[in-house]
Amino acid sequence: MLSNFHLPPIQQIKSFIAQRANIEIHVLRLDLIHPYINGNKWFKLKYNLLAAEAQRNTTILTFGGAYSNHIFATAAAGNLFGLRTIGVIRGEERLPLNATLQFAVSQQMELVYLDRKTYRQRATVELHEQLKERFGEVFIIPEGGANLYGVQGCTEILQELPGVEEFNIICVPCGTATTLVGLALSLHQQQMVMGFPVLKGGEFLVDECDRLGKNYLANHKFSSGRFLAPWKLVCNYHFGGYGKVKPALMAFCQKFADEHGIPLDYIYTGKMFYGIMDLLQKGFFSSGSRLLLIHTGGLQGNTGIDSTCLQESFWLSYGNFDHELRSYTWC
């Protein structure tokens, strides 16, 4: 199943401020593991797809917005592994389809639209029954891959990465926080996770993380002597909320890509990297800290917002990437 995937490289950010403060910042490039099924979305899909296979279910149905990275990755994975996929999209159909949905259709995903009110029922048994009546026996993956199979996959993000125990702070952007919980379940002693919610009022995720972590550890199918490492959320870098993009954020992403050769998406990674660079300037991290920033991918989403440079430079650099660490200078 994994034959098309690369081990993600870890790349160090050269920053004068970090150096002066005796702090190291490294980036785990999950955006480079696969051209389409990249970032944390692959990890959230993996055990869902294996569970579908174990149930001999060859149709995957899942939910997402019109720009969803999860819809994009599910469509690609379905196509790659020979599964039928149905994407239930929030809101009305808009033609022409945006780049995300065009891609999904090109990967043979069938799209179905639900008005926003009905879409809110996406996690209810009633709606699932209706969808099964319409499409037959389908394996339902929740929006964003946010279930215990998703957590299970995310416990593998740091697996097999040489030297990963040397980092003491792991940083990740959060939507549902499934990825954060998976990471927190896979850490060594003395390590912690810092999550950056991209939704406004991300404080609600605190209970959600507790719930997911406890359910995972209580479920014999999943828990294997793991513990939940300490985690914290930094809730003030949402830039107005989910899908909201400010010029300052776009400018930061462009500059960061130029200086460090790492493209960022505006919805998730851009906000986290902005937050970290800002906290660094404010003296938030203590001397000797070694940070590992998870680049969770999501670059396909930039096309809808900025169809010019970032996306193109990403595909070009993907083709030429040779897994060597380049050195960068901070100006």
Ligand X SMILES: *Cc1c(COP(=O)(O)O)cnc(C)c1O
Write out the residues near ligand X by the rule CB under 6 A.
39-41, 69-70, 144, 146, 173-180, 265, 268-269, 296-298
Report the residue number, 42 or 285, with the smaller CB distance to ligand X: 42
As measured in angstroms, the least distance from the Cβ of 265 to ligand X is 6
d(Cα 100, Cα 298) in Å, to the nearest integer?
Answer: 11
Report the residue number, 24 or 265, with the smaller CB distance to ligand X: 265
As measured in angstroms, the least distance from the Cβ of 185 to ligand X is 13
Report the residue number, 31 or 57, with the smaller CB distance to ligand X: 31
As measured in angstroms, the least distance from the Cβ of 205 to ligand X is 8
Q: Give pairs for 263-266: CB < 8 Å, separation 24+.
A: 263/31, 263/299, 263/302, 263/310, 263/313, 263/314, 263/317, 264/295, 264/299, 265/297, 265/298, 265/299, 265/301, 265/302, 266/301, 266/302, 266/305, 266/306
Report the residue number, 16 or 204, with the smaller CB distance to ligand X: 204
Beta carbons within 10 angstroms of residue 296's beta carbon: 24
- Contact of 230 with 189, CB cutoff 8 Å: no
Report the residue number, 164 or 183, with the smaller CB distance to ligand X: 183
The residues, any chain, with a CB within 8 Å of residue 146's CB and separated by 6 or more, are: 44, 176, 178
Q: How far is CA 236 from CA 3, 179, 203, 248, 276, in A?
A: 39, 19, 10, 15, 11
Report the residue number, 23 or 277, with the smaller CB distance to ligand X: 277
Crossing angle, helix 99-106 and helix 69-81, to 10 degrees? 10
As measured in angstroms, the least distance from the Cβ of 195 to ligand X is 8
As measured in angstroms, the least distance from the Cβ of 128 to ligand X is 20
Comparing every residue's Cβ against ligand X, the nearest one is: 298
As measured in angstroms, the least distance from the Cβ of 327 to ligand X is 26
Report the residue number, 23 or 262, with the smaller CB distance to ligand X: 262
Report the residue number, 23 or 39, with the smaller CB distance to ligand X: 39
d(Cα 321, Cα 211) in Å, to the nearest integer?
Answer: 39
Tell me the three state secondary structure of residue 225. coil
As measured in angstroms, the least distance from the Cβ of 91 to ligand X is 18
d(Cα 166, Cα 226) in Å, to the nearest integer?
Answer: 19
How far is Cα of residue 232 from the mean position of the Cα atoms in its chain? 18
As measured in angstroms, the least distance from the Cβ of 294 to ligand X is 8
